Amino acid sequence: MSTLILVLFLLLGTYFVAVIEEWSVTGRLRPAGPVRAALRLLGTESVLARKPDRLFFEVAPVLLLVAAILSLAIIPLAPGLIVTDLATGALFFNAALAYVLVALIMGGWGPDGAYAMIGGWRFLGQLIGYAMLVVMPITAVAMRSESLSTVVIVQSQEQLWNILYQPLGFVLFALAGMAMAFVPPFDLPTGAGDLAGGVEAEYTGVRRLVFRLGRMVLILSVASAMTVFYLGGWLGPVLPGWAWSAIKILVVTALMLAAGRALPRVREASFLAWCWKLGIPLALVNIFLVGVLVLVVPL
Amino acid sequence: MTAQVFFLAAFGLAAVWFGIVVFRTHSMVRSALALLFSQTAIGAMFLVMQAEFLGVLQIMMMATEMSIMAIFMVMFMMDPGGLGEMDMKHQRKLSLAAGVIAFLAAIGVSVFADWGPAATVVPSADEQLRMLGIELLGRSMLIFESAGLTILTAMIAATAVAVQMPAKKEDAS
């Protein structure tokens, strides 16, 4: 039964993320949008670039999808409703999503196109910026829960959600998470108005469909992680746990995509400068503050 | 137990195979990513040996490290795509000898070292995490701190060398 619910979560979650993504771009809620887009891509010829690195070109979209799905394995939707409750869950999330970078580098290098290649390497630069800002706020979350298990992390927020307990960490993690899922304004590797689509530029037809699907699952995964680490996961009154998880994840996705659309795209160099000159010192302050709070106010 | 040994051997062979692929390909990016998958296979071996934290850490760290190595290889090599069929093997005799000696040394250490009694009970993953944390703040602290400081020094030095200072203003005289 729980397997069925988890598969449904993956499918429906991806579908809703796709609907919300289209809404954030066009301003219209079209329930049939994802289906239509998928059919259109399936009907398009899948062009192969000249002299490609065929192996990388084919593997990249699949690796993106697999990495994103794997990272969802440690997301608890309700008590007991989780694929695998690893003792190193919060770390596993990062380990799985590190392969998003590998996928984008492969996808950028594979088709032997300048725009795609620049897009792929850009994401590597982006990782240098956001990586620390994903890991360091999670450290502070784990300090409070005294565990890396995502289930224990949610349980540790019974009294007070982490968004209120460590708001600084939430802001940093939210921005870094958006950079990790390369949603606007951090969509440097695939920006539509920039580099002609970057990594996505040379992908057409079914390969592009898999790539876009992986991207949607990735956004779902980052939104789920924000919910689990900072918004109390399944915790909430009246409604059952899974409903709260679903509501929070969808709201986070909508806010993330809508807010990103309203902001101007960040330039690579300024992103790195902001991350290292402001973000990392703030993340260290956050770890220090949470350390003091954990000792002084054991909530 | 047999399943464990089987998977351990399978991932070990995968690690060795990807290590060979590093030198069989001509493309720098393929070479770097083959090394990545070799290291990932080693991470999987840790997972099979029920060292969950080490496995996950290995799998995570290598993805970023090898990708960064890939871009450096692309930047510094004259033929990063390998379209000119550049040979990846250099100084064959020397490297063969070094490889054989290192292999024999590793085998020798693994056979002759006194490893103490094998662990009969594997601590749970939470317990391992706790023990690792205490180890890092105890006996091994000095080693880790000095390694960390060395890496930090190297990073600062490398950045200082790489940064292009703005040209000094000429004197008005």
pLDDT in tens, chain B (173 residues): 688 899 999 999 999 999 999 888 888 888 899 999 999 999 999 999 888 899 999 999 999 889 988 888 888 887 777 777 777 777 889 999 999 999 999 999 999 888 888 878 888 888 888 888 898 888 889 998 999 999 999 989 988 888 877 777 666 55
Cβ <8 Å between A87 and B60 = no
**Are residues B60 and A91, on separate chains, in Cβ contact within 8 Å?**
yes
Q: What is the mean pLDDT of residues A82-87?
A: 85
Q: Is A78 helix (H, G, I), strand (E, B) or coil?
A: strand
- B117 located within any domain: no
pLDDT of residue B171: 63
Task: Tell me the three state secondary structure of residue B21.
Answer: helix
Q: Each residue of A27-42: b (16+ CB within 10 Å) or e?
A: eeeeeebbeebeeebe
Percent of chain A exceeding pLDDT 70 equals 100
Interior CA angle at A56 toward B21 and A204, to 5°? 165
Taken in order B35, B39, B42, B43, is the CA torsion positive or negative? negative
Report how far residue A17's alpha carbon sits from residue A257's, in angstroms, rounded to the nearest whole number: 9
User: How does pLDDT run across A110-150, given as a tens digit for each residue?
Assistant: 888 888 888 899 999 999 999 999 999 999 999 998 888 99
Q: Given B63, B83, B128, which is nearest A102 (Cβ)?
A: B63
CA angle A269, A280, A258 (to 5 degrees): 65
| Residue B59: burial class (beta carbons within 10 Å; 0-12, 13-18, 19+) | buried
Q: Which of A153, A134, A158 is nearest to A143 (CA)?
A: A153
Mean pLDDT of chain A: 89
Token output for A173? 């993690």
Chain B positions with Cβ closer than 8 Å to A = 27, 29-30, 33, 36, 52-53, 56-57, 59-60, 63-64, 67-68, 70-71, 81, 83, 124-126, 128-129
Cα–Cα distance, A73 to A217 (Å, whole number): 12
Q: Which residues contact A177 (CB under 8 A, 6 or more apart)?
A: A134, A222, A225, A226, A256
A147 Cα to chain B: minimum distance (Å):
8
Which chain A residues are within 8 Å of B125, Cβ to Cβ? 86-88
Residue A200 confidence (pLDDT) = 85
List the single residue in B27, B33, B126 with the smallest CB-CB distance to A147: B126
Domain with B152, as residue range(s), is: 125-162
Is residue B4 included in any domain, yes or no?
A: yes
ipTM confidence score: 0.84
Residue at a domain's end among B79, B109, B135: B79
CB-closest option in B81, B83, B126 to A87: B126
CA distance A28 to chain B (A): 38
Which domain-ending residue is among B20, B52, B79? B79
- For residue B47, count other CB atoms closer than 10 A to its CB: 18
Q: Is the peptide bond before A185 cis (omega within 30 degrees of 0)?
A: yes
DSSP structural state of residue A198: G
For residue B146, the Cα-to-chain-centroid distance in whole angstroms is: 19
Cβ atoms within 10 A of the Cβ of A228, count? 29
State the Cα–Cα distance between residues A106 and B34, nearest whole angstrom. 12
For chain A, domain boundaries? 2-43+50-296
Q: Identify whether B133 is part of a domain.
A: yes
Residues 239-278 of A with CB under 8 A from B: none
Structure tokens at A296: 């002084």
Phi, psi values for residue A81, rounded to 5°:
-100, 75
> Which of the listed residues B79, B108, B133 is the one where a domain comes to its end?
B79
- Residues with Cβ < 8 Å from A130, sequence gap 6 or more? A175, A176, A179, A180, A186, A275
A147 in contact with B, Cβ within 8 Å: yes
Percent of chain A clearing pLDDT 90 (strictly above): 42
Q: Do B56 and A98 touch (CB under 8 A)?
A: no
Q: Which has the closest alpha carbon to A113: A49, A157, A158?
A: A49
Residues B3 and B75 occupy one common structural domain: yes
Which of A64, A101, A109, A145 to substitute to test the interface with B, most B CBs within 10 Å? A109
Which three-class secondary structure state does DSSP give residue A239? coil
Closest-approach residue (CA) in chain B for A152 = B126
Looking at beta carbons, which residues of chain B come within 8 Å of A106? 29, 33
Q: Do B63 and A101 touch (CB under 8 A)?
A: yes
Q: What's the pLDDT band for A201 if we cut at 50, 70, 90? A: confident
Task: Supply the pLDDT for residue A222.
Answer: 94
Is B137 inside any structural domain? yes
Residues 6+ apart with CB under 8 A from B23: B31, B88, B89
Show residues of chain A in contact with B128, CB under 8 Å: 87
Chain B residue closest in CA terms to A109? B29
pLDDT band at A263 (very low <50, low <70, confident <90, very high): confident
A94 contacts on B by Cβ (under 8 Å)? 60
- B46 in any annotated domain: yes
CA distances from B38 to A116, A120, A189 (A): 26, 22, 27
For residue A180, the Cα-to-chain-centroid distance in whole angstroms is 6
Whether the Cβ atoms of residue B54 and residue B61 lie closer than 8 Å to each other? no
Taking only Cα atoms into account, the Rg of chain A, rounded to an integer number of angstroms, comes to: 19
From the number of C-beta atoms within 10 Å of its C-beta (0-12, 13-18, 19+), residue B89 rates as exposed
CB contact under 8 A, B125 and A86: yes
- Provide Rg for chain B, Cα atoms: 22
Under DSSP, is residue B43 helix (H, G, I), strand (E, B) or coil?
Answer: helix
Q: How far apart are CA A177 and CA A137, in angstroms?
A: 11
Q: What φ, ψ does residue A27 adopt, rounded to 5°?
A: 80, 5
Number of domains chain B contains: 2
Task: Specify if B89 maps to a domain.
Answer: no
| B32 lies in some domain | yes
HEC secondary structure over chain B: CHHHHHHHHHHHHHHHHHHHHHHHCCCHHHHHHHHHHHHHHHHHHHHHCCCHHHHHHHHHHHHHHHHHHHHHHHHHCCCCCCCCCCCCCCCHHHHHHHHHHHHHHHHHHHHHCCCCCCCCCCCCHHHHHHHHHHHHCCCCHHHHHHHHHHHHHHHHHHHHHHCCCCCCCCCCC
> What is d(CA A98, CA B62) in angstroms, rounded to the nearest whole number?
9
| Coil, strand or helix at A147 | coil
Calculate how close chain A gets to B88, using CA atoms only, in Å. Answer: 18
- A57 interface with B at CB cutoff 8 Å: no
